[in-house]
């Protein structure tokens, strides 16, 4: 077997084992600790008990959602950094999260969530994200060509505008609505509908499969668009597909869980440090590592000041920012 392929398989197995270990720890720890030996008995004879409800109705759905959202954001970040050839680009840079946040804020202050149900929040978030995606595509596409620098700058400006509009809605919102907006913006894996969790899992795996089909093209684009075109790659077609995949992953993730930052920025950097820059391994490695990172952060958010719970976005910001500084410091900056 090719040594490179063997190394990649080893890394995937290592990440899969870490994912399993982190998931088991997250399943067992919390304000109500549950011994590992009890899980097997709960599977066969624990239905209807408090421990069964805690494990399978509360913690397991959070773990699955955390994996799906973390994987989607990390994968989106890896795609965008390769597409723009810019290590500072992340999913939220393009303003997609700002559009989702604005959609949710409008839903809350108009009282639509009380009339239409809690599921209307992610629906409005996705509508907001979708409108930003369409606006970005319309503003930055000329004669069928996506201008990447214009896309990036326009996305940053839309993000600023969306943030200002969100602050405006917060200024005119009632105290109860303001609390709901702030809690959503900090990000949380709690209380998501089972249908949304299943949908997020499907979308994240769909994004992984489709993006891996373009891993060779991403490798070529990392050396420059002109060089990639000389290799026979339809650069404009690839950019449209990559933009669509990344936008779909980010829009769905933000709509379901709120703004959870730093995953799309830090995780791809961390994986480059370990597995290298080849997108054939970087994409699946980032996918697994993103899920690991968010599950771990959510576990800390639930336990660090138990029985109270911190928004998971607070933990990802602290840990993610610290990791990013570490990766950029000293001799390690050559991997960034």
In sequence order, which residues have a C-beta less than 8 Å from that of residue 176 and are 6 or more positions away?
Answer: none
Full pLDDT tens readout for the chain, 336 residues: 588 889 999 999 999 999 999 999 998 887 777 776 777 776 666 676 777 788 878 889 999 999 999 999 999 999 989 888 888 888 888 888 888 888 888 888 888 777 777 677 788 888 888 888 888 888 888 777 778 788 888 888 998 898 899 889 888 888 878 887 887 777 888 766 788 899 899 999 999 999 999 999 888 888 777 777 777 888 888 888 888 898 889 888 888 888 888 899 999 999 998 998 999 999 999 999 999 999 999 999 988 887 778 888 889 989 988 888 887 775 455 444
Domains of the chain, first to last: 3-335 (1.10.3470.10)
* pLDDT single digits (tens) 247-306: 889 888 888 888 888 899 999 999 998 998 999 999 999 999 999 999 999 999 988 887
């Amino acid at each position: 077997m090719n040594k490179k392929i063997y190394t990649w398989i080893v890394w995937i197995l290592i990440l899969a084992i870490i994912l399993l270990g982190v998931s088991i720890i997250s399943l067992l720890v919390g304000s109500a600790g549950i011994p590992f030996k009890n899980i097997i008995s709960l599977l066969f004879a624990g239905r209807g008990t408090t421990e069964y409800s805690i494990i399978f109705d509360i913690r397991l759905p959070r773990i699955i959602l955390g994996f799906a959202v973390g994987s989607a954001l990390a994968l989106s970040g890896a795609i965008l950094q390769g597409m723009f050839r810019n290590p500072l680009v992340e999913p939220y840079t393009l303003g997609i999260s700002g559009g989702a946040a604005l959609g949710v804020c409008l839903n809350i202050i108009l009282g639509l969530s009380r009339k239409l149900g809690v599921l209307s929040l992610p629906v409005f978030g996705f509508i907001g994200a979708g409108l930003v995606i369409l606006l970005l595509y319309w503003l930055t596409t000329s004669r069928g060509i996506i201008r990447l620098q214009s896309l990036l700058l326009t996305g940053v400006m839309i993000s600023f505008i969306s943030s200002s509009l969100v602050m405006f809605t917060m200024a005119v919102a009632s105290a109860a609505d303001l609390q709901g907006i702030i809690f959503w913006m900090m990000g949380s894996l709690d209380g998501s509908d089972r249908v949304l969790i299943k949908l997020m899992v499907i979308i994240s795996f769909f994004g992984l499969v489709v993006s891996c089909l373009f891993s060779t093209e991403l490798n070529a684009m990392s050396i420059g668009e002109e060089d990639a075109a000389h290799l026979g790659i339809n650069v404009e077609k690839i950019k449209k597909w990559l933009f669509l995949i990344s936008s779909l992953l980010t829009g769905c993730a933000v709509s379901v869980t709120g703004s959870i930052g730093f995953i799309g920025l830090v995780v791809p950097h961390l994986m480059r440090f370990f597995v290298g820059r080849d997108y054939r391994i970087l994409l699946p490695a980032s996918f697994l590592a993103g899920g690991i990172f968010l599950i771990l952060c959510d576990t800390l958010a639930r336990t660090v000041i138990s029985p109270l719970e911190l928004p998971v976005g607070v933990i990802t910001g602290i840990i993610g920012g610290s990791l990013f500084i570490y990766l950029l410091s000293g001799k390690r900056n050559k991997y960034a």
